[in-house]
Amino acid sequence: MVPILEMRGITKSFPGVKALDNVTLSVSPGEIHALVGENGAGKSTLMKVLSGVYPYGSYDGDILFEGQPARFAGIHDSEARGIIIIHQELALVPLLSIAENIFLGNEITRRGVIDWHETYRRTEALLAKVGLDESPAARVDSLGVGKQQLVEIAKALSKKVKLLILDEPTAALQEYDSQKLLDLLLEFKAEGITSILISHKLNEVGRVADRLTVLRDGATVSGMGRDEISEARIIRDMVGRDMAHRFPARTPNPGETLLDVRDWCVFHPTHADRKVIDGASLTVRRGEVVGIAGLMGAGRTEFAMSLFGQSWGQRITGQVTLGGKPVDLSTVPAAIRAGLAYVTEDRKALGLVLDETILRNTSLANLPGVSTRGVIDANRERRVAEDYRTALGTRTPTVFQKVVNLSGGNQQKVVLAKWLFTDPQVLILDEPTRGIDVGAKYEIYAIVNQLAEQGRGVILISSEMPELLGMCDRIYVMNKGAFVGELTRAEASQERIMATIMAAETGVAGGA
By beta-carbon proximity to another protein, the closer residue of 99 and 343 is: 343
Using CB under 8 A as the binding rule, whether residue 137 contacts another protein is answered as no
Query: In the complex, what is the shortest distance from the CB of residue 265 to another protein, in angstroms, rounded to a whole number?
Result: 22
Task: Find the binding residues for another protein in span 311-350 (CB under 8 A).
Answer: 311, 332-333, 335-336, 342, 344, 349-350
Number of residues that bind another protein (CB under 8 A): 36
> Quick one: which H or E segment has residue 502?
helix 494-505
Tell me which of 93, 367, 423, 454 binds another protein, using CB under 8 A: 367
Residue type, 9: G
Cα–Cα separations (whole angstroms), residue 235 to 213, 221, 300, 492: 12, 12, 30, 25
Using CB under 8 A as the binding rule, whether residue 222 contacts another protein is answered as no
Q: In this structure, what DSSP letter does residue 97 have?
A: B
Query: In the complex, what is the shortest distance from the CB of residue 41 to another protein, in angstroms, rounded to a whole number?
Result: 20
Tell me which of 378, 454, 488, 494 binds another protein, using CB under 8 A: 378
Tell me which of 147, 418, 434, 496 binds another protein, using CB under 8 A: 418
Query: In the complex, what is the shortest distance from the CB of residue 373 to another protein, in angstroms, rounded to a whole number?
Result: 9
Using CB under 8 A as the binding rule, whether residue 10 contacts another protein is answered as no
Residue type, 452: A
Using CB under 8 A as the binding rule, whether residue 382 contacts another protein is answered as yes
Using CB under 8 A as the binding rule, whether residue 356 contacts another protein is answered as yes
Query: In the complex, what is the shortest distance from the CB of residue 247 to another protein, in angstroms, rounded to a whole number?
Result: 28
Neighbours of 439 (CB within 10 A): 16
Query: In the complex, what is the shortest distance from the CB of residue 47 to another protein, in angstroms, rounded to a whole number?
Result: 19
Measured CA to CA, the distance from residue 199 to residue 166 in angstroms comes to 8
Using CB under 8 A as the binding rule, whether residue 105 contacts another protein is answered as no
Tell me which of 241, 353, 488, 493 binds another protein, using CB under 8 A: 353
Strand 5-14 to 60-65 pairing: antiparallel
Using CB under 8 A as the binding rule, whether residue 365 contacts another protein is answered as yes
C-alpha R_g of the chain: 24
- Contacting range for another protein; rule: CB under 8 A; set: 151-159, 183-191, 313-321, 361-369: 361-369
Query: In the complex, what is the shortest distance from the CB of residue 45 to another protein, in angstroms, rounded to a whole number?
Result: 15
Q: What are phi and psi of 302, to 5 degrees?
A: -65, -40
3 state SS of 239: helix
Beta-bridged to residue 222, according to DSSP, are: 214
By beta-carbon proximity to another protein, the closer residue of 408 and 485 is: 408
Beta-bridged to residue 425, according to DSSP, are: none
Strand 457-461 to 289-293 pairing: parallel
Using CB under 8 A as the binding rule, whether residue 113 contacts another protein is answered as no
Using CB under 8 A as the binding rule, whether residue 89 contacts another protein is answered as no
Query: In the complex, what is the shortest distance from the CB of residue 392 to another protein, in angstroms, rounded to a whole number?
Result: 18
* Residue 4: partners with Cβ closer than 8 Å, 6 or more residues away: 27, 28, 29, 65, 66, 162, 163, 194
Task: Find the binding residues for another protein in span 289-318 (CB under 8 A).
Answer: 308-309, 311
Residue type, 4: I
**How does DSSP assign 373-399, residue by residue?**
TTEE-HHHHHHHHHHHHHHHT---S-T
Nearest residue to 294 via CA among 507, 147, 482, 436: 482
Query: How big is the chain, counted in residues?
Result: 512
By beta-carbon proximity to another protein, the closer residue of 191 and 355 is: 355
Q: Site residues (CB under 8 A) for another protein?
A: 308-309, 311, 332-333, 335-336, 342, 344, 349-356, 360, 363-365, 367-368, 371, 374-376, 378-379, 382-383, 398, 400, 404-405, 418
